[in-house]
């Protein structure tokens, strides 16, 4: 046996270079595309067909179906895509990823691109050191492309030489002549290998090389490809574990789609593989090594196109199935923009109405977030406390996403044919959105102050709890009046005056409590550390009141007069 442990390390190193090249190339392209990928995702998912095309396009660009599906899961988690929209994109991502196999088949086997990798790196080096981010990202993409094919060439050179090591060939053939059982066995091997490597492109490269070297047959290679398609769903499901129920449903739909495809292809495995083989032989020509790589790439593409064609009519059904399998728990919320559609903007006065409704929803969510903060202060159970704090943290992340989406929508809408009053209304709404996001920040800061107090095992006195509750009561009333103002309910000016009066009460209470806190510390009523935690919470309450005032001020007649409305 001439294949030594050092040769095995060379094989692993080649695999590492291939994976690194794929990672650098994908990340470089994502940076190069910037927010355009995100805009495409949110704008082109209005129906099942555009959703599929979007998935194909994005995955073909960034050369990673895992990156696309993880991106989709994160957008569903943030409420920027619905479950229905996400399923269409995921279907398309499965087709887009087949381009990688064709690139490897053509360049890796038909053209010796390794001869050009060093000149390519030489051309890309100045771009890598460029101060301009777009040029640097382009340089990273070119470097990744070169590394990928250097790794592929090295992989081909370091796989076992079966002619010199016939005992290794006999080991493999022991499991390739068991009929359909061999197909099932190698399907599981492909799935496990992809889960371990976390890249279907890498396992596809290994499969193409093994078939081209004569290690395994075309049929066994096809079984490995099926396993790779199922194994790649693991990445999105791992990413969804930390997400909400919608994100987990999107990841589960990816698994179910691929699992269904595996089942029907295995049911007609031999006719399907034979049909693909005959098609390639009819359309292409070349040496045996090139032809088998083309056959596997064609099998990969035909499988995903057929599976997508079947499922594109069943998206609604799949949505219902995953919703049934993963019901929403009472404490979980689905966050998404309900009244405006990101990506596409109605450039008319209607956009103002839609944005106003969304801001009202945004405001009510921040009011709910404040309710969680109040609960957090009195929560004694450790597990329940952590769960509630994580919920507040999630609301903070959603608050940031909602601010960005609503503000982008308003900025695009302001470029349309609006009246001067409409454009001024948009400016005021932009101010409101910014201040509402600050309310979310303030609530989160208050939650962190409460957590610091708990971690320090500090306990407030009964009097301190009463004063904090008094501040909370004033803020609760302020929130209620603010919500009425934002939703443009009747007696708007009266509601604004109520908020301003409550703000005066909050300021006076804050000042009195600060003075009393110093006196109580001086009297040794409680330690200085407890006084710090206490006054931090009181200070955050006062800041929260200021942000509420800033929101309603944008609707006050005096503010509009100062702005010349």
Residue 13 CA to residue 79 CA, distance in Å, equals 40
Could you please report the per-residue DSSP string of 330-350? Answer: TT------SSS-SS----STH
pLDDT of residue 375: 93
Task: Note the CATH number of domain 350-562.
Answer: 1.20.58.220
71-107 residues labelled b (16+ CB within 10 A) or e (exposed): bbbbbbbbbbbbbbbbbbbbbbbbbbbbbbbebbbeb
Sign of CA dihedral 459, 460, 465, 471: negative
CA 254 to chain centre: 14
pLDDT of residue 358: 85
pLDDT of residue 336: 61
Question: Are 63 and 99 contacting, i.e. CB atoms less than 8 angstroms apart?
Answer: yes
DSSP type of residue 329: P
265-303 residues labelled b (16+ CB within 10 A) or e (exposed): beeebeebbeebbeebeeeeeeeebbbbbbbbbbbbbbb
pLDDT of residue 56: 81
pLDDT of residue 92: 83
Which residue bears the tokens 């959703």? 51
Question: Are 249 and 90 contacting, i.e. CB atoms less than 8 angstroms apart?
Answer: no
pLDDT of residue 162: 46
- Sequence-distant (6+) residues with CB within 8 A of 359 are 406, 429, 432, 433, 436, 486
Long-range contacts of 473-481 (CB under 8 A, 24+ apart): 474/502, 474/505, 474/506, 474/509, 474/545, 475/370, 475/506, 475/541, 475/544, 475/545, 475/548, 476/370, 476/374, 477/502, 478/502, 478/503, 478/506, 478/545, 478/548, 479/367, 479/370, 479/548, 480/367, 481/552
CA nearest 364: which of 387, 316, 398?
A: 398
Residue 356 CA to residue 555 CA, distance in Å, equals 12
Token pair recorded at residue 520: 């109580």
Could you please report the per-residue DSSP string of 26-38? Answer: HHHHHHHHTHHHH
CA nearest 457: which of 353, 509, 527, 538?
A: 527
pLDDT tens digits for range 14-62: 777 777 776 777 677 666 655 565 566 666 666 778 778 877 877 776 6
pLDDT of residue 538: 93
- Sequence-distant (6+) residues with CB within 8 A of 255 are 230, 233, 237
Residue 471 CA to residue 476 CA, distance in Å, equals 9
User: Where exactly are the structural domains of the chain?
Assistant: 8-164+179-325, 350-562
Which residue bears the tokens 């499901």? 237
Residue 399 CA to residue 36 CA, distance in Å, equals 22
Question: Are 37 and 89 contacting, i.e. CB atoms less than 8 angstroms apart?
Answer: no
Token pair recorded at residue 412: 């695009």
pLDDT by residue, tens only, the chain of 565 residues: 456 778 778 877 877 777 777 677 767 766 665 556 556 666 666 677 877 887 787 777 665 666 677 667 766 765 566 778 788 888 888 787 777 667 666 665 545 556 677 888 888 888 888 877 778 888 887 887 777 777 767 766 676 554 455 455 455 556 666 777 778 888 888 888 777 665 666 677 777 777 777 777 888 888 888 888 888 777 667 666 656 677 788 888 888 888 888 888 888 888 888 888 888 888 776 666 667 778 888 888 888 888 888 888 888 888 888 888 888 765 555 556 666 654 444 445 567 777 888 888 889 989 999 999 999 999 889 989 998 998 898 888 888 888 888 888 888 777 766 667 777 888 888 999 999 999 999 999 999 999 999 998 888 999 999 999 999 999 999 999 999 888 877 777 888 889 999 999 999 999 999 999 999 989 888 899 999 999 999 999 999 999 999 998 887 654 454 444 4
């Amino acid at each position: 046996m001439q294949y030594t442990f050092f040769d095995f390390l060379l094989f692993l190193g080649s695999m590492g270079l291939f994976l690194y090249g794929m990672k650098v190339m994908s990340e470089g392209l994502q940076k190069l595309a910037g927010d355009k990928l995100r805009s495409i995702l949110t704008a082109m998912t209005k129906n099942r067909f555009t959703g599929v095309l979007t998935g194909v396009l994005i995955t073909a660009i960034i050369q990673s179906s895992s990156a696309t599906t993880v991106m989709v899961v994160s957008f569903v988690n943030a409420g920027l895509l619905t479950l229905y929209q996400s399923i269409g994109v995921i279907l398309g991502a499965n087709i887009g990823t087949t381009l990688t196999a064709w690139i490897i088949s053509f360049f890796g086997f038909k053209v010796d691109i390794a001869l050009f990798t060093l000149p390519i790196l030489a051309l890309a080096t100045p771009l890598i050191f460029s101060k301009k981010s777009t040029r640097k990202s382009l340089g990273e993409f070119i470097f990744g492309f070169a590394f990928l094919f250097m790794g592929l060439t090295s992989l081909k050179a370091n796989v076992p030489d079966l002619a010199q090591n016939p005992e290794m060939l006999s080991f493999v053939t022991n499991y390739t002549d068991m009929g359909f059982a061999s197909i099932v066995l190698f399907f599981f091997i492909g799935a496990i290998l992809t889960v371990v490597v976390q890249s279907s492109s890498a396992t596809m490269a290994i499969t193409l090389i093994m078939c081209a070297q004569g290690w395994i047959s075309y049929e066994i290679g096809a079984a490995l490809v099926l396993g790779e398609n199922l194994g790649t769903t693991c990445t999105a499901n791992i990413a969804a574990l930390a997400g909400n129920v919608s994100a987990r449903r999107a990841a589960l739909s990816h698994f179910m789609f691929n699992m269904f495809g595996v089942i029907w292809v295995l049911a007609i495995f031999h006719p399907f593989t034979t049909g693909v083989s005959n098609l390639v032989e009819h359309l292409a020509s070349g040496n045996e090594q090139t032809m088998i790589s083309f056959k596997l790439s064609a099998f990969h593409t035909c499988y995903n196109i057929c599976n997508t064609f079947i499922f594109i009519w069943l998206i609604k059904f799949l949505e219902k199935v995953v919703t049934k399998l993963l019901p929403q728990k009472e404490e979980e919320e689905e966050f998404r923009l309900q009244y405006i559609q990101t990506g596409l903007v109605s450039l008319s006065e209607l956009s103002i109405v839609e944005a106003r409704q969304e801001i009202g929803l945004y405001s009510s969510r921040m009011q709910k977030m404040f309710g969680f903060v109040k609960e957090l202060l009195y929560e004694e159970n450790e597990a329940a406390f952590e769960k509630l704090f994580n919920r507040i943290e999630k609301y903070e992340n959603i608050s940031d996403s909602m601010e960005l989406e609503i503000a982008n929508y308003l900025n695009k809408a302001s470029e349309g044919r609006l009246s001067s009053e409409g454009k001024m209304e948009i400016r005021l709404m932009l101010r409101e959105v910014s201040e509402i996001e600050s309310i979310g920040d303030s609530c989160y800061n208050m939650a962190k102050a409460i957590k610091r107090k708990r971690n320090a095992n500090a306990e407030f006195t009964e009097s301190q709890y009463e004063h904090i509750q008094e501040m909370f009561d004033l803020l609760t009333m302020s929130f209620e009046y603010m919500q009425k103002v934002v939703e443009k309910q009747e007696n708007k000016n009266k509601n604004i005056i109520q908020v301003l009066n409550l703000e005066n009460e909050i300021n006076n209470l804050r000042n009195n409590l600060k003075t009393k806190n110093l006196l109580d510390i001086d009297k040794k009523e409680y330690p200085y550390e407890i006084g710090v935690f206490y006054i931090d919470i009181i200070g955050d309450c006062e800041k929260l009141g200021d942000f509420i005032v800033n929101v309603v001020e944008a609707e006050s007649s005096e503010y509009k007069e100062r702005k010349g409305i």
